[in-house]
Amino acid sequence: MSKKLYEQLQQTGDTQIYYDPRYQAVKIASGEVQKILGVANIRLHFVGENKCNKSFLLDVIVHEGLDEEFFLGRDFTGSDAKALETNDHIYLTYEQECYLDSVEKNLKNKKLCKVPLYSVKEAPITISNNKTVVIPPLSPLTITCHVTQKKGNRIPLKPKGSIDFHIENVIKPRLETPPAMYTLENPSQIEITLFNDTIEDYHIEPNEEIAEIKLWGNMVECHRMEVKALDVDEELQIIHNENGTIKSNTDKIIKLNRPIFIEDDDTLTEEEKEIAFLQYMKNGYHHPSMTKIIEEREAITEYKLEKTDPISDEEWSKQFDLAHLTDFQKQKALETFAQNKQAFSTHVRDLGCTDMVEMDIELTTNQNLFQQYRPVPYALKEQIVKILDQLLQYGIIRECDEPSPIVSNLLACKKKDDSVRILLDGRLLNIYSKKMAQNQVSQNELETHLSDADMASTHTQHFTHHSMERDFALQDAHKD
């Protein structure tokens, strides 16, 4: 419910917002997680087409970021208040035993409230039972169905093979189905699982409409998951810790059962990981954080204000991973590193630029390609200037004294800690750059070049196979 609607209700009665630890945040359409105002208790009043009115008490989330005034979720339409649902109507009731009589009789006796539905989404496909079945009380049963023969109800043409689907709605009252994905290969042999939630046998005659199914598109991402029971002697007393683990009474530390792509995202806090996991379980997908996307995109370069203070000799020696060496070898390695300390970077911005290599970037077009200019927000300008000045100071970028045929904007973003991130999107230049032939060096060639060398590194110009065309005067092979 929107904040605006809640304030209108406040004028007609006393409806207080209270805190519920189960509901703390919502995820909007852009993927942003926003905190809610709280939860309010209201009464919903329904007016049915059969002149039957029914009211229900409901706890609703109040959020100020909603464009619509009210959303009715599955916590209500999936509750015992709903007797059944079709494409056009939802039938509400107070009496849970109304399934013993026909729908027509219950509508006439006003045990059911026939509420119209207005939908713009694609209608689900109705399926019917193939033969007579009897579902035992409080038991599940797999039954075989077929697509109901009626106008506009059919399986769309698909390539040969199976189609994934899920059950959108069970039409028969007092029957439930587990949330699961099914596979459809033959429209006349569709197997689904139903659960009889009554204490009596449930009879279903042939060709009765059972449920409505919805087909899944090809873009739905599925993951396999294995579920198994713990041994009896390893019962867990679950205690949630701040570090995202649980501790058992056997003093075992067990990681929370979250997907790896959420658990390994270091940019998320524990609270954000838990919210992301709950949203993944509800919606079936997870949108990674912007920081994670940037780190994995090679076409995007990130700039931020880096620390350039020199470190002490003791801290400098600790930067090397020498755990695989003996004590004598570690000592010799550190002595060698110290003698050549000037060859190592002193901080992140110390890249060791050189003017020994030049390259002309050939373009595939003669047109000038300029992205639309957008001014920098005043609140971010000071931090952006500091970052650019640091890049200029250490030669990462330089001022261009000649016009450029391609101009890409820098994207400035404010992070959660109020620092600024500058992004350079290099896709525009990459798209219109002429692709150079890549030299494929075999293992034998590489070993031949390095066979007589006492020391070699990836920065050794003499042994490097270049995949770019360099100026003739700068090529080592032509120097006498």
Render pLDDT for 219-257 as a digit per residue (tens, 0 to 9).
566 666 776 665 544 444 444 444 444 444 444 444 456
| 118 vs 398, more confident | 398
pLDDT score, position 256:
54
pLDDT score, position 133:
92
CB contact burial 133-161 (16+ within 10 A = b; e otherwise): bebeeeeebebebbbbeeeebebeeeeee
Residue pair 397/422 in contact (Cβ under 8 Å)? The answer is no
In a domain, 274, yes or no: yes
CA distance 353 to 5: 61
Mean pLDDT throughout 297-312?
A: 77
pLDDT digits (tens, 9 = 90+) for 465-480: 555 555 566 555 444 4
pLDDT digits (tens, 9 = 90+) for 85-127: 887 888 888 877 776 778 888 888 888 889 887 755 567 889 9
Count CB neighbours of 200 within 10 A. Answer: 12
| Same-domain check for residues 255 and 185 | no
Structural domain tally of the chain?
Answer: 4
pLDDT over 60 at 142, yes or no = yes
Residue pair 369/333 in contact (Cβ under 8 Å)? The answer is no
Q: What is the CATH number of the domain that holds 182?
A: 2.70.40
Residue 15 gets the label, from left (phi > 0), alpha (psi -120 to 50) or beta, of: beta
Q: Are strands 209-215 and 190-196 parallel, antiparallel or unpaired?
A: unpaired
pLDDT digits (tens, 9 = 90+) for 40-68: 888 888 888 888 888 888 888 888 877 77
| Same-domain check for residues 211 and 155 | yes
**Sheet arrangement for strand 17-18:** 17-18, 38-47, 53-62
pLDDT score, position 474:
55
For 65-185, where are the alpha helices, taking DSSP H only?
74-77, 103-108
Expressed as residue numbers, the domain containing 33 is 3-112
Question: Quick check: helix, strand or coil at residue 55?
Answer: strand
| Same-domain check for residues 146 and 57 | no
In a domain, 399, yes or no: no
| Same-domain check for residues 12 and 105 | yes
- Which stretch, 25-29, 94-98, 428-432, has highest mean pLDDT? 428-432
State the average pLDDT for the chain: 78
Taking the CA atoms of residue 258, residue 259, residue 265 and residue 271 in that order, the dihedral angle to the nearest 10 degrees is -30
CA 178 to chain centre: 24
In a domain, 148, yes or no: yes
Question: Quick check: helix, strand or coil at residue 94?
Answer: coil
Q: Name which of 122, 210, 124 is nearest 165 in CA terms.
A: 124
pLDDT over 50 at 313, yes or no = yes
In a domain, 83, yes or no: yes
Phi/psi at 260 (5° precision): -60, -40
Mean pLDDT throughout 194-219?
A: 86
Residue pair 164/181 in contact (Cβ under 8 Å)? The answer is yes
In a domain, 185, yes or no: yes
| Same-domain check for residues 78 and 154 | no
Token representation of residue 115: 């509420």
Question: Quick check: helix, strand or coil at residue 80?
Answer: coil
- Which stretch, 110-114, 347-351, 399-403, has highest mean pLDDT? 110-114
pLDDT digits (tens, 9 = 90+) for 183-205: 888 888 999 999 998 888 899 99
Question: Quick check: helix, strand or coil at residue 410?
Answer: strand
pLDDT over 80 at 355, yes or no = no
Q: Distance of CA 12 to CAs 2, 7, 37, 50, 59, Å?
A: 16, 9, 20, 28, 18
CA distance 335 to 325: 14
| Same-domain check for residues 137 and 170 | yes
pLDDT digits (tens, 9 = 90+) for 449-467: 667 767 666 555 444 455 5
Residue pair 194/217 in contact (Cβ under 8 Å)? The answer is no
Residue pair 168/187 in contact (Cβ under 8 Å)? The answer is no
| Same-domain check for residues 85 and 134 | no
In a domain, 352, yes or no: no
Token representation of residue 44: 């919903």
In a domain, 206, yes or no: yes
Taking the CA atoms of residue 215, residue 154, residue 123 and residue 90 in that order, the dihedral angle to the nearest 10 degrees is -110
pLDDT score, position 247:
46
| Same-domain check for residues 108 and 131 | no
Give percent above pLDDT 70 in the chain. Answer: 78
Mean pLDDT throughout 159-181?
A: 85
Q: Name which of 226, 246, 243 is nearest 234 in CA terms.
A: 246
| Same-domain check for residues 210 and 239 | no
In a domain, 119, yes or no: no
CA 291 to chain centre: 13
